[in-house]
Structure 1
Amino acid sequence: MPEQFHRPVRRPSAAFDNLVGPADSTEAVRIAHETASALLTRARDDSTGESTERLIAFTAENGIDDIAELWASAPAVSLPGALWRLYLLQLAIHTDSQTSALLYERGRVELASADAVVAGAPVPASPQELVALIDTILRGVFQGDFSVALDRAAAFCRVQVSGATHLADDYETTEPARATELTTRARRLHLYAGDLSAAAGLWRVGELN
């Protein structure tokens, strides 16, 4: 990650679960849909891959504020809503990859499903490997099968939900405040997983706008 940024960067730590963006409005939603569609089209039309790499690096260079202004007020199951959630996941993992790796590994061990396989992280996944994974998923958004990328992100969320839930149980008696933070994170990621899965389904039938 670059050592210096072009402007102050708002980074989610405990604040990750509070990043909800500006108040909703008809004009904001219209702009969100138009910019998301234009951005996706531009990246997919660029055979060099340069646009994709710039988009992946965007949050490291500019923070989350510009994206929030455009997309955070869009409906959850929409093109801008899906992109907003993907960028939030990316920024959260880049910012605190150690915690992400801890939650992912605990969830992978505890979760009796194929979600870890779908997400595609190594076993076990180091913090650096999780950073690489979310960047790979974003490349799939801009270059590959968009619905597959959304499904992978949703699966990733479900693995982390499992990890956060089980760790919250571990901390319940000794560190209740930490347990509450993990439970809040699990609830938010659970919502993201459902939103991203629904968006993937709509994309497959040409109805994600």
Structure 2
Amino acid sequence: MTRHHHRPMQPGDRFFEAVESGGDPASVREAGDQAATVLVRGARESGDPRVAERVLHLAEEEGIETIAEVWSGAPADTLAGCLWRLFVLRQWVHNEPSEVAREFAAGRSAQVARVVAGVADPPGPDQLRTMIDEVLRGIAGSDFADVLFRAAAFARVVATGRAHLDRDPRQVLQLAEQLEEAGHAELRHGLV
């Protein structure tokens, strides 16, 4: 049998550039987890009302999208995973306020609707943006479990509305369930 020998591949400069520019996935995830902990635990402990505003507007002012991208792979029962879900919920409401308001209005007859305080009846796009921002301000100013339960209630109402409008409610319902379960976990032992 004849064996053909070939020279082993030599990595070029591009190979090393890719290795050097990429982060260690474990280190990146750890940094994302630490950032989530600081945002949730540190913001509340600061006692400074301006912190709530900074947390709320990190996406616009501080470039939180990069950290949020790291959070996107985090399990739903972690601080990072919860912040990812809250970030997505806020972005969705701000990007599609009219549609979300329509779905919320269609689902407001749900029992859970009364849990979401501060929403006009019927809610318009501006009222929903204000409401979701108030919920997220709670990250810095109130119990994190309350934030999760309020966001879950909002998502559940929207999921009900989507079902009434013959739209697929599964993703929004799954989000509601994940946030609610995380709220219970936060009450039991505190999320990490």
Q: Sort the TM-score into its range (normalised by shorter chain).
A: 0.7 to 0.9
Equivalent in the alignment of 1:12: none
Q: Give the Cα–Cα distance (whole angstroms) in 2 for the partners of residues 64 and 37 of structure 1.
A: 14
Equivalent in the alignment of 2:175: 192
| Gap regions ≥5 residues in structure 1 | 1-24, 169-181
Q: Give the Cα–Cα distance (whole angstroms) in 2 for the partners of residues 164 and 123 of structure 1.
A: 18
Q: Give the Cα–Cα distance (whole angstroms) in 1 for the partners of residues 68 and 120 of structure 2.
A: 31
C-alpha RMSD over aligned residues: 1.8
Q: Give the Cα–Cα distance (whole angstroms) in 2 for the partners of residues 30 and 62 of structure 1.
A: 20
Question: Which amino acid in structure 2 is aligned with residue 208 of structure 1?
Answer: L
Note the C-alpha offset of 1:95.
1.3
Equivalent in the alignment of 1:127: 125
Cα distance change of structure 1 residues 119 and 58 upon mapping to structure 2, 3 Å threshold? same
Q: Does 2:173 match 1:202? A: no
Question: Which amino acid in structure 1 is aligned with residue 107 of structure 2?
Answer: G
Q: Give the Cα–Cα distance (whole angstroms) in 1 for the partners of residues 190 and 74 of structure 2.
A: 16
Q: Could you say what secondary structure the match of 2:70 adopts?
A: helix
Work out the number of aligned pairs and report it: 167
**Which residue, out of 165, 182, 193, partners 2:163?**
165
Equivalent in the alignment of 1:175: none
Note the C-alpha offset of 1:65.
3.0
Equivalent in the alignment of 2:150: 152
| Gap regions ≥5 residues in structure 2 | 1-24
Asked if the contact 1:141/1:150 (under 8 Å) is kept, the reply is no
Question: Share of identical aligned residues, percent?
Answer: 33
Note the C-alpha offset of 1:48.
2.4
* Runs of 4+ with >6 A deviation: none
1:145-167 per-position Cα deviation (integer Å, ceiling 9, x unaligned): 11111101001011000111121
1:73-126 per-position Cα deviation (integer Å, ceiling 9, x unaligned): 1111211111111111111111111111100000113x3x2x111112222112
Equivalent in the alignment of 2:94: 94
